[in-house]
């Protein structure tokens, strides 16, 4: 199993045209420069950034891909609220949260809130001129799974076909909410940040989106959680499929696995060659993707794996200051908790990688 094409694509970011690409050592094996840079993935409207592990880049990717997309509704379903904090420039969240918006679907006596999505540019100046809205999260989401479970169990007790309708209404609540909010903010594109656990809002998100973007960090636990995600998607004994019996609900495909925190060899002459750790995890990820290719949106594993370099100091600055990676310049300096942190030169490569991901999903 070879990761050569995935690596060659990294080198292709740096060739300005086909002629320059022909001088690259990778060109012998992959002569078609233009097709190497086009993953030929079907384009969808609604994506969830999802994997069942913390600290792998879900919130960071949500924030940066929303900025790159320009025209998108972002929803934060993680009770930790990191992407809400990035969108609101760390200013704390006010207004209707995703918890407030979903609760009336589970507790029918509650009324639906009217103002939900908020304009990001009102809070974060780096989104000026962009049609990006967000729905913030709430710490109450920690309790959402048990509220959802008891609503589903009450619905199961309803006699006749009303039972099916009531359960579908609960499990399609995120989908219904997105239908309404995307109309209001005049965009079809949606990006949902999820938590590292499945029950509750992530479960509803899977019924609401077309496909998943799965960050996998270059460590064994992240690779295990990719396998766990696939098990939940396919195992009829687990809650996602089990709760769907007799119901008409949709399941997401997987569009892309973004391998985050990649590092590259510093050996002299080893241009665009991954370091050993990155290589090992790219190979492991490729094997899982190839084995489960029927869950993906095309049948070529190489189309679905995109490395994203470790952001290093730029990631720290981006998180602490709520600045999209695209807006950072090498050598810029910021003070974080009394410490001077400088934007690393490799930020330009990360910017190219993020632009590549954006171009290939929308």
Ligand X SMILES: Nc1ncnc2c1ncn2[C@@H]1O[C@H](COP(=O)(O)OP(=O)(O)OP(=O)(O)O)[C@@H](O)[C@H]1O
Match 């098990």 to its residue by tokens: 231
Binding partner of 360, given Mg ion, ligand X, none, CB within 5-8 angstroms per partner class: none
27 or 120, CB closer to Mg ion?
120
- Binding residues for Mg ion, rule CB under 5 A, total 4
Helices marked H in 37-191 — which ranges?
A: 58-69, 82-87, 98-106, 144-156, 162-171, 173-185
Residue 305: φ, ψ to 5°: -120, 120
CA angle 318, 321, 327 (to 5 degrees): 50
Indicate whether 360 belongs to the interface with ligand X (CB under 6 A). Answer: no
Query: What's the min distance (Å) between Cβ of 141 and ligand X?
Result: 12
Which residue in 337, 164, 338 sits closest to 243, CA to CA?
164
Helix (H) or strand (E) holding 317: helix 313-321
Q: Is the dihedral of CA 136, 63, 80, 121 positive or negative?
A: negative
Position among 12, 50, 52, 59 found at the interface with Mg ion (CB under 5 A): 59
- Closer Cβ to ligand X, 233 or 259, answer by number: 259
Name the binder of 60 from ligand X, Mg ion, none, CB < 5-8 A by kind: ligand X
Apex CA 291: angle with CA 289 and CA 295, to 5°?
A: 65
Interaction between residue 56 and ligand X (CB under 6 A) = yes
How far apart CA 151 and CA 147 sit, in angstroms, is 6
197 makes contact with Mg ion (CB under 5 A) = no
List the one residue from 46, 58, 167, 272 that touches ligand X (CB under 6 A). 58
Q: Does 84 participate in binding Mg ion (rule CB under 5 A)? A: no
- CB nearer ligand X, residue 56 or residue 361: 56
Residue 189 sits in the site that holds Mg ion (CB under 5 A): no
Distances (CA, A) of 180 to 41, 97, 211, 250, 269: 27, 15, 19, 18, 54
CA 171 to CA 106: how far, in whole Å? 9
* Residue 38 C-beta: closest distance to Mg ion, Å: 30
Q: Which is nearer to Mg ion, 8 or 78 (CB)?
A: 78
Per-residue interface string for the shown chain with ligand X, residues 303-342, x marking contact by CB under 6 A: -----xxxx---x--xx-----------------------
What mask, x for binding ligand X by CB under 6 A, covers residues 246 to 275? --------------xx--------------
In whole angstroms, the minimum distance from the beta carbon of 22 to ligand X comes to: 30
Residue 108 vs 139, nearer CB to Mg ion: 139
- The residue range among 20-28, 37-45, 75-83, 273-281 that interacts with ligand X, by the rule CB under 6 A, is 75-83
Q: Is 57 in the site for ligand X (CB under 6 A)?
A: yes
176 in Cβ contact with 105 (< 8 Å): yes
- List the single partner that 272 binds among Mg ion, ligand X, none, CB under 5 to 8 Å by kind: none
The DSSP element (H or E) to which 351 belongs, if any, is: helix 347-361
What are the beta bridge partners of residue 193?
Answer: 49, 76
Q: Which of 10, 59, 118, 243 binds ligand X (CB under 6 A)?
A: 59
234 binds Mg ion (CB under 5 A): no
Using CB under 6 A as the criterion, what x/- string covers residues 207-236 for binding ligand X? ------------------------------
> In the structure, how many helices (H) and strands (E) does the chain have?
15, 10
Select 90 or 104, whichever has its Cβ closest to Mg ion.
90
**Terminal-residue alpha carbon distance, the chain:** 29
Rule CB under 6 A: say whether 163 interacts with ligand X.
Answer: no
Cα angle for residues 155, 159, 165 (degrees, 5° grid): 50
Q: Which does 311 bind (CB under 5 to 8 A by kind): ligand X, Mg ion, none?
A: ligand X
Closest CA to 77 of 174, 183, 185: 174
User: Do 59 and 204 meet the contact criterion of CB atoms below 8 Å apart?
Assistant: no
Return residues touching ligand X (CB under 6 A): 54-61, 78, 80, 82, 196, 260-261, 308-311, 315, 318-319
């Amino acid at each position: 199993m070879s990761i050569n094409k995935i690596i060659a694509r990294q080198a292709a970011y740096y060739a300005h045209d086909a002629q320059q690409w022909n001088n690259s050592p990778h060109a012998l094996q992959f002569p078609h420069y233009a097709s190497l840079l086009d993953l030929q993935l079907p384009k969808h409207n609604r994506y969830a950034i999802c994997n069942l592990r913390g600290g792998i880049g879900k919130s960071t990717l949500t924030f940066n891909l929303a900025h790159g997309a320009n025209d998108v509704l972002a929803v934060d379903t993680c009770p930790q609220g990191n992407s809400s904090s990035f969108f609101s420039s760390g200013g704390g969240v006010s207004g209707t949260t995703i918890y407030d918006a979903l609760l009336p679907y589970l507790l029918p006596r509650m009324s639906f809130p009217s103002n939900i999505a908020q304009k990001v540019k009102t809070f974060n100046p780096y989104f000026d001129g962009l049609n990006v809205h967000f729905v913030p999260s709430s710490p109450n989401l920690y309790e959402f799974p048990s509220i959802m479970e008891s609503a589903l169990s009450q619905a199961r007790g309803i006699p006749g076909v009303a039972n099916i309708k009531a359960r579908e209404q609960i499990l399609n609540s995120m989908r219904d909410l997105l239908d309404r909010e995307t109309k209001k903010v005049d965009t079809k594109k949606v990006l949902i940040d999820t938590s590292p656990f499945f029950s509750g809002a992530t479960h509803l998100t899977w019924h609401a989106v077309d496909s998943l973007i799965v960050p996998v960090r270059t460590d064994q636990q992240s690779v295990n959680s990719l396998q766990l995600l696939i098990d939940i998607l396919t195992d009829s004994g687990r809650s996602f499929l089990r709760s769907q019996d007799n119901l008409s609900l949709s399941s997401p495909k997987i569009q892309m696995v973004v391998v985050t925190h990649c590092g590259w060899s510093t050996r002299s002459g080893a241009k665009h060659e991954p370091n050993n750790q990155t290589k090992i995890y790219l190979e492991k990820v490729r094997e899982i993707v190839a084995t489960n290719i029927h869950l993906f949106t095309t049948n070529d594993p190489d189309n679905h794996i995109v490395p994203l370099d470790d952001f290093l100091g730029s990631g720290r600055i981006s998180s602490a200051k709520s600045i999209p990676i695209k807006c950072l310049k090498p050598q810029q300096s910021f003070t974080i908790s009394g410490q001077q942190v400088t934007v690393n030169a490799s930020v330009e490569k990360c910017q190219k990688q993020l632009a590549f991901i954006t171009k290939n999903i929308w």
